Structure 1
C-alpha cells in the first residue's frame, strides 16, 4: 500500500518530542510528511522546546533543537494531503492567531481526513471551531479550552472518527500507533532473528 501524504503544522517553541518523533516515525513507515510554519519557507527552521516534568506545579521549558522545515506554508494546498498533524508545546498559542492555519485545520475536518494532535495542539483546533461533539484528549491544562469548544475530554489517547488525540509526549507511542490505524497503515511485525556465533 503506498504511503500517505501528510501535513504537519509547527512553530517556534513547539514541543521537541511532539515534532521530531512523529515526523520521523511517520516517514519510517513510508509516509511523506511536509512540515510547515506560517511566514517561513522550506529550509528555514523553527526552534523547539523540551518540556519536562520535575515535580513542579507545571512543566519546565528548556531549549530544544533547530527543526528544519521541508515545505513552504504559503505554497501548500491542504487538498493535496491525506492527513494533518498538529504538535503541542507553546507554538499553538500563537499559531492559532493565523487565519490561514485555522483554514487548513477546517479543510481536514470538513473533508473528514485523519487529524492527529497532542498536548497544546488542540488550542488550534478549538480556535478553528471544529471540536463540537468530539471526544478527545489534550494536555490537562488545556481541558477547559477544548470543553468550551464543545467536546468531552478524556484522560488518555483517544480516537473519535477522524481525530486522534493525546495528553503529551509521554503518549507518543500509543498516539502515533492510533494515528497509523486511522490512516489505514499496517506495519508488519515479524519475529526478530538473532545471529548466534560459535564460541
Structure 2
C-alpha cells in the first residue's frame, strides 16, 4: 500500500483531517501527519465547519489531533502521495517556504496530490495548478483562477481528478475524493 504525507496545522477542519487520516489507514495505507514547528506527539487544534443555512459555513472548536511524524525530517522521496486538508491552517501553511518547496517537489515528481476545501490555498501559493481542473471551497475560486487553474464548481459531495490532482469542495466529498485518490495510488 501507499505511504501518504498529510501536511496539517492548528485549526485545520476537523473532519477533513481526521476522517481521511483514519480512512486511508483503514484501507491499509500508511499516513504521516506533520505540522511545521511541531513534532510527533504534539497536538494541533481543529475546527468544525458546518453548513447551517448561513451565507457561509460556521466554525466551532473541534478535537485535538496528535501528530505522528516530524515535519523537519520529511522528504517527498519517502512518500507516494500528498494530502492537504482544509480549514484555516492552509492560510498560514502557504506562507511557509518549506511547505511550498515540499508541495512543488511532490508535483514535479508526478505523485498524487489531494486537497480539499481551503487546502487548495497551499497549491495556489505553490503555483502548481496552472491549466488544471481544480475544485475547492467556493470562496477559493478567485485564488484558483489567479493561479491559472480552471475552477470547477462541484456539489459539496463531489470530487474531481485531473492528472495527479484530486480536489474537492468540502468534507461531504470524502467518499468521492478518497475513492479517486485510492485509484491513483494503485
CA-based RMSD: 0.6
Structure 2 portions without partners, runs of 5+? none
TM-score, normalisation: structure 2: 0.97
Alignment of 1:1-150 (within 5 A): 3-150=1-148
In the other structure, the counterpart of 1:162 is 164
**Counterpart secondary structure, 2:32:** strand
> Aligned-pair distance for 1:129?
0.6
Partner of 1:153: 151
CA distance in 2, matches of 1:150, 1:158: 17
Distance in structure 2 (CA, Å) of the matches to 1:183 and 1:146: 25
Q: Which residue matches 2:179?
A: 177
Q: Distance in 2 between matches of 1:23 and 1:155?
A: 25
Deviations 1:132-179 (A, max 9, x none): 110110000000101110011112311000000000001111111111
Distance 2:17 2:133 in 1: 23
Counterpart secondary structure, 2:23 = helix
Deviation per residue, 1:31-62 (Å, 9 max, x gap)? 00000000000000100100011111111100
Q: Matched residues in 2 for 1:173 and 1:49: separation? A: 20
Q: Distance in 2 between matches of 1:131 and 1:152?
A: 8
Displacement, 1:79? 1.0
Q: TM-score, normalised by structure 1?
A: 0.90
Point out the structure with max Rg over C-alpha: 1
Higher relative helix content: 2
Structure 2 CA distance, aligned partners of 1:80 and 1:130?
20
Equivalents in 1 of 2:43, 2:86: separation in Å?
17
Report the 3-state secondary structure (helix = DSSP H, G, I; strand = E; otherwise coil) of the residue aligned with 1:88.
coil
